[in-house]
Amino acid sequence: MLGAIWGAMPGTMLGTVLAFSAATAHAQPASAAPAALPWQRIELGAPNQRYAFAIYSNKPWAGDVAHTRGVTTAVLIFHGMGRNGRGYYAAAEKLLAASGANAEETLLIAPQYFATADADKAAGFPQWRGSRWNSGQDAVNWPRPLSAFEPIDDVLAALADKTRFPQLTRIVLAGHSAGGQLLHRYAVLNNIDDTLRAAGKRVSYVIANPSSYLYLTAERPSATSANGFARYDAAACPDYNQYRYGTENLLRYAGKQDAAALFARFAAREVIYLLGSADNDPQHPQLDQSCGAQAGGAHRLERGRNFIRYERHLAGSSVKLNRRAYEVIDVGHTQSRMLGSQCAAAVLFGGVVEKQAGGAACRSL
C-alpha cells in the first residue's frame, strides 16, 4: 500500500514547459533569509506565461546539470502562516544532516510565498491576500489567474525532467500548520501526482498540524450519529461545506470535479499525517476559528483525529487508503519538533529512528 507505483514515462509532463532564471544573490526580504542562506529567484511556467518564484535550496536550479544529476530524493518543505521560508529551510537542513541521509543525493527546497503585506520586499513576485495562498487561491497582483498550487505543479514537473534529474525516484512534500493546509488541499486537488507516479516517482505528502481539512462530503464528526458522522447543521454554519472546508464552489484551479472521484484518487495517494499530541489549545492565536473549521473539531489535534477517522469511514471496506498517521508525543504547535520527531526522520529523509534519538517519540494512529 505504501510502496512506489511504477509505470512508463509519458512523452510530456502535463504539457508544462518550464524555464529557470540564473540563481542570483538578492537583497533579502526582512522575513526571508540573510544573504548567507541560498535564496534563489527562479522562473516557472510556459514560455508565454512565465512568473517569478522564490525558493531556498541546497542546490542551484540553473547552470550545470552536474549539480542535480546525482539527486535521488527531493524534499519540499512548506512554511506556515508567518511565511518564514528561511526558518523552515534552516530547520530542514539540520534535520537532513541529523538523518544520516546522503545530502549530495538529496535536493532540499523550501518555497517562499508572499502576501500583499510583503509588497515592499516582493516586487516582481506573485502575492496573495492574507493567507489565501494556503488554500490555493489566485494571486491578486498577477495579470493572469495564478493559483498558489501552480508553483508546486511547475516545480514537480521540472523534477520529472530526466535530463536534469535522471536518478530521482522519490519526492516528499511536507508542510506544517498553514503549510499543512496548503499541502492537504493540494494532495486532494492536483492533477500531476498520477503522472509522476506513472513516471516512476514515489510521491509522498507529509501533513503536520493543519488548522483545518477539506471534507469531501457534507458529513462532519457527530457525537450522536451511530457511525460518528452526520450531515452538519447548515443553519448553524451556512457555509460549512463551501471550499476551503468542503467541495461546494471549488476554486478555479480544481475545475469541475466530482467529489466521489476526488476521494477515490486521493485515497490512493501516499499521505502521512503528523499530529502533535499537545496541539490541543482551542484558543491558539493562529487556530482557524471559523464555523467551517470548528465543524471538524475544537482544536488541531481533535480535527486531525476526526479527519483520519472520516477518511476511514468514507473508505469502508471497499477503498484502500494509502496512509500512515502518527501522534508526536508531548509536542504542540512547533514545526521544528514535529518535523524533527523520530517518526518524521524516516518519512522525510529515509533516515532511521536511531539517528533521531533526541527527537520526540511517536505513536501510530
What mean pLDDT is predicted for residues 5-16? 29
C-alpha 289/C-alpha 282 separation (Å) is 9
C-alpha 158/C-alpha 42 separation (Å) is 12
Q: Which CATH class is domain 39-364?
A: alpha beta
Residue 66 in this model has a pLDDT that exceeds 90: no
What mean pLDDT is predicted for residues 36-48? 84
Q: What count of residues does the chain have?
A: 365
pLDDT digit string (tens) for 149-192? Answer: 999 999 999 999 999 999 999 999 999 999 999 999 999 999 99
DSSP output for 25-86: --PPPTTS--TTS-EEEEEES-TTS-EEEEEEESS-SSS-GGGTTT--EEEEEE--TT--HH
pLDDT for the residue numbered 356: 59
DSSP output for 265-283: HHHHSEEEEEEETT---TT
What mean pLDDT is predicted for residues 76-91? 94
Residues 272, 206 contacting (CB under 8 angstroms): yes
Q: Residue ranges of the domains in the chain?
A: 39-364
Q: Which three cell numbers stand for residue 273?
A: 499525517
pLDDT for the residue numbered 6: 21
Query: Looking at per-residue confidence, does 277 or 97 come out higher?
Result: 277
pLDDT for the residue numbered 352: 52
pLDDT for the residue numbered 5: 22
pLDDT for the residue numbered 357: 63
Residue 216: what residue type?
L
pLDDT for the residue numbered 350: 77
Whole-number average pLDDT of the chain: 88
Q: List Cα–Cα distances, 78 to 33, 82, 92, 141, in angstroms.
A: 15, 11, 10, 22
Q: Using 50, 70 and 90 to split pLDDT, how confident is the model at 38?
A: low
Residue 65 in this model has a pLDDT that exceeds 90: no
C-alpha 178/C-alpha 180 separation (Å) is 5
pLDDT for the residue numbered 4: 26
Residue 265 in this model has a pLDDT that exceeds 50: yes
Residue 176's SS3 state is strand
Q: Using 50, 70 and 90 to split pLDDT, how confident is the model at 358?
A: confident
